[in-house]
Structures are given as C-alpha cells and as structure tokens.
Amino acid sequence: MNVNDSDWIFRMMKPLGYQATTVLEKADVILLNTCSIREKAEQKAFSFLGRLAALKKRKPGIVIGMGGCVAQQEGENVFRRVPHVDLVFGTHAIPRLPRMIERIIEKRCRIADVKMSQRIIEPEAIQLPVEAEQTPCQFVTIMRGCDNFCAYCVVPYVRGRETSRHPDDILKEIQMLVDGGVREVTLLGQNVNSYGKKEDLCSFSELLEKVNEISGLRRIRFTTSHPKDLSDELIDAFRHLDKLCHHFHLPVQSGSDRILKKMNRRYTKDQYIKKIEKLRAACPGIAITSDFIVGFPGETDDDFADTLALIEDVGFDGVFAFIYSDRPQAPARDFDSKVPLSIKKTRLQALLDFQAKITIHKNKALVGSNLAVLVEGESKKQTGAQGVENDLIQWSGRTSTNKIVNFTLKGDLNGLGESLVGNIVEVQIQKALSHSLWGTCQNLRAISPESKGEKSYAA
C-alpha cells in the first residue's frame, strides 16, 4: 500500500517540475512515507528524520515532510519530536500534497493535514502519467481502510474505515495504465474480499471478471485477503479467469485457535485449512503465501507449536513473519501476559528456519521445468548463481505463482531492441535458491500477436 502511495506522490510532483533523486543533498523536497504497523518501523522513521537536521541547517529552504500511517497517528506531535519537519500529511492527504508544498514554499509555514476523506483518488489524478518503461507492473487501489479491528492492528485507526472505489473508475485507471505499456496490475486493499459490500457495488469476483476483459492486460494479482471473507465465488474465479495469477496471499497470523480468538480473527485453524483445500482444488499448483505474528500476548509454547504444525500441514510457498509489538489504539496493547522479547526472537527465527526448508524444497522441485516469466527488468543480482554466465545481460521477472526468476538470454532479441521488459518469456529453470530461481532463455520467437501490438515470446 505504501509503495503505491509513494508512486502516486512521485506522479503528483512531476507536474510541479520536480523529479526524483536518490541523493538527499540534491533534494529540494524530502518526503518520508511511513508505516506504523510495527514499532520498529516507526522508530526507524523518526531516526531517519532526526538525521536530516544537519541537512536542514545547511539548506534552510529544503522542505521536509512525513506522510503515511505514522504521520496520521502522530499529527502535530511530529513537530514537537522533530522540529525541523515542515509538513505532516496523513494517509488521506496525498491528493492535497502539491498544494501544501507550494504553500509551504510561498509562506514558509508548517502544515499538518491528517483529515480523513471519503474519496480515495481524485478523478484528475488518474490522468497523471505513468512511466511504464520502468516496470510493466503497477498497483491499483480498489479500496481503502478496514472494518475488521484485529486486536493487534492499528490500520483501522490510521487508514480509516472500509471505502471502495467505483468499478468504472478502477477500470478507467487500468485501461490508462495498459495504454501506457503496463501488462500486470495488482489490485490493492486492506481486505479486497469485502470490496463493494458497503457501497452495494459489484462483488470482488465480479470486479475481477471486468478487469480480466481489458484488452492488452496480461496478468492480474491482488492483495490482501481476510480468510473469514474468502468466498466460494472468488475461489471459483481461479478456474475460469485466464489472466488471474495462480498465487493467493492469505494471512493467517497464528495456528492456535486460542490465539486466533484473542486476535479477533473470527476463524479457526480448521476453517482456514478448508479454504486452502478449496483453493487448491479450484487451481491445482496455486502458490499459497501467508503472514504470521509470533509472541502475541499470552502465546505459549504449545500455541507456537500449533503454528508450526499449521505451516507443515499447509506447505506454504513462502511467509512473512513478524514479532508482535504493542501499537497505539490497538486493544492488544492492554492485554496481560506479554511474551519476553528474547522468546519472541527465538520463535521468529524458528518459524523462518522451518518455512525456509519448505520453500527451498518447493523451489528445487521446479529445476528442469520451463516457466512463463513476465520480465520486469534487468536483474539486480549479476553474480552468485552457479552456471550463470555473468558476461550476459541478466533479466528478472516473476511467474504466475509469484516466483522470482533471474535468467540470462542466450541469443538475440529478434528485433525487440535492447529490452525484454513487459514481455512474457519461457525460462528453463536450472538452479533453485532460497528466495528465487535461476535459468536461461534461448532464442526468442513470437508465439502469437496480442491486441495493441503486444506479443508473447518463448524459448
């Protein structure tokens, strides 16, 4: 969600004459987009802002702003903690950002804007240009906020209650992206499974059907889903929507029914497993990933053992796991029986090590196979894989199941110029690593022309 918000910020700043830079000393405006879902992220945000004091002293005219969830949570208190900050803008204030920056420069004033809004994206913002040549994959926000109020989570308080965009606006934005060269979209929401329910719009599965019909679009992803709202209708979408990627991220958080109840997740371990079984029946080979929190207040060794047992039973392709931390306004902050940090760290490492064995086993099973990969750019890793010829350009992309694949092209590009970005190629997998796959792609040939001049390529 924050990556998408940051993309919008870049796009909104360009009409004002700004361009991105990775060098802080060159910047006229520095905007820190923040996340407050874990305490460590919040601490890192304030630490970064603190380090900007010397730069502000050397360049008094520079505008320094904090946005995102920490900004929404702290409001004007940010000014007291970090006096050299000029702007605090909350999660709903991004559309107002350009006007605020212009006012700060003109008036040399401070502004804190954490007002909530019902509108997710301003209509005129949809027309802002996207540099699709940088990546053929883009995020598209379909809803914002959350009504679930999990005991550990601050999101409903900093992102607001659930609000869905009208499907016509979503489809218009995706069509604009596709016309600009985007080939894959990821539909975003705190809980996409509840899309449209409050506004009596179409269901999420019906929205997916509409997106699937967009000519020139090659792949559709979405995140995130709440298990309690996962419908049979959505599961069935994996049977018949050809552009829907075979990957489902379904956060479970714990394998203990006792902890799930304390978390206010409103499902049991068995109910979760039955959802997974239905997904795999509808889409054999679908990749399943999840989120886990370790050390939730009151979590015992037996509760943690239940979590490891769930991981083994499901056989996730990958997981994100985090140490529980108290968050402002979240009910769990007041729960008794807090787990010591040393135990939380031990459990986190045990979970990650346990899952790593499952992930590498699944990755090794793909060695020797040919996988369709949507090329996203040149690989950041130019060395380190046995058998990879490092004098060749190495490319990177993902499979439908969200596996990262780095590969070399042996042969020419058959008139594609210097880049494969945005094309789907067939890669023979030669090596499995813990978080990615490596392979080669032989000479390319066109398989079939697509609408709007797009082509698909394979070995």
Region 276-303 average pLDDT = 98
Region 331-342 average pLDDT = 97
pLDDT of residue 389: 46
φ/ψ of 406, rounded to 5, equals -105, 135
Instruction: State the number of CA atoms in the 13 A half-sphere of 248 facing the CB.
Output: 26
Strand partners, 163: 144
- Determine what percent of the chain is predicted with pLDDT higher than 70: 89
pLDDT of residue 442: 79
Region 340-369 average pLDDT = 98
Say yes or no to pLDDT of 455 above 90. Answer: no
Top mean pLDDT of 33-42, 72-81, 376-385 is at 72-81
* CA-to-CA separations, 10 to 120, 128, 161, in angstroms, rounded: 17, 10, 26
Strand partners, 244: 220
Environment class of residue 4 by beta-carbon count within 10 Å: exposed (0-12), middle (13-18) or buried (19+)? middle
Environment class of residue 350 by beta-carbon count within 10 Å: exposed (0-12), middle (13-18) or buried (19+)? middle
pLDDT digits (tens, 9 = 90+) for 156-187: 999 999 999 999 999 999 999 999 899 999 99
pLDDT of residue 449: 37
Instruction: Tell me the pLDDT band of 298, cut-offs 50, 70 and 90.
Output: very high
CB 98 within 8 A of CB 148: no
pTM here? Answer: 0.88
Say yes or no to pLDDT of 448 above 50. Answer: no
* CA-to-CA separations, 55 to 31, 80, 84, 152, 438, in angstroms, rounded: 14, 19, 10, 37, 42
pLDDT of residue 369: 96
180 vs 443: which has the higher pLDDT: 180
CB 216 within 8 A of CB 450: yes
Kindly give the residue spans of alpha helices, DSSP state H, lying in 213-300.
Answer: 232-240, 257-262, 269-282
Instruction: Tell me the pLDDT band of 280, cut-offs 50, 70 and 90.
Output: very high
DSSP letters for 193-204: GGTTTTTT---H
- CA gap 70, 37 in Å, rounded: 9
Instruction: Tell me the pLDDT band of 102, cut-offs 50, 70 and 90.
Output: very high
Say yes or no to pLDDT of 456 above 50. Answer: no
Choice among 54-58, 123-127, 149-153, 194-198 with the minimum mean pLDDT? 123-127
pLDDT digits (tens, 9 = 90+) for 7-58: 889 989 999 999 999 899 999 999 999 998 888 899 999 999 999 999 999 9
Say yes or no to pLDDT of 130 above 80. Answer: no
Instruction: Tell me the pLDDT band of 415, cut-offs 50, 70 and 90.
Output: low
Peptide bond connecting 224 to the previous residue in cis, omega within 30 degrees of 0: yes
CB neighbours of residue 99 within 10 Å: 12
pLDDT of residue 135: 80
SS3 34: strand
φ/ψ of 358, rounded to 5, equals -70, -45
Tokens of 431: 């090596």
pLDDT of residue 153: 95
Please provide the average confidence, as pLDDT, over all residues in the chain: 90
- Dihedral sign for Cα 253, 258, 262, 268, please: positive
Region 355-376 average pLDDT = 97
- CA gap 169, 128 in Å, rounded: 14
Please give the radius of gyration of the chain, using alpha carbons only, rounded to the nearest integer: 23
Strand partners, 322: 293
- Fill in the amino acid letter for 146: C
DSSP conformational letter for 241: -
Q: Report the b/e string of 419-458 with b at 16+ CB within 10 A.
A: ebbbbbbbbebbbbbeebbbbbbeebeeeeeeeeebeebb
Instruction: Tell me the pLDDT band of 420, cut-offs 50, 70 and 90.
Output: confident
CB 204 within 8 A of CB 238: no
pLDDT of residue 411: 66
Instruction: Tell me the pLDDT band of 2, cut-offs 50, 70 and 90.
Output: confident
Instruction: Tell me the pLDDT band of 410, cut-offs 50, 70 and 90.
Output: confident
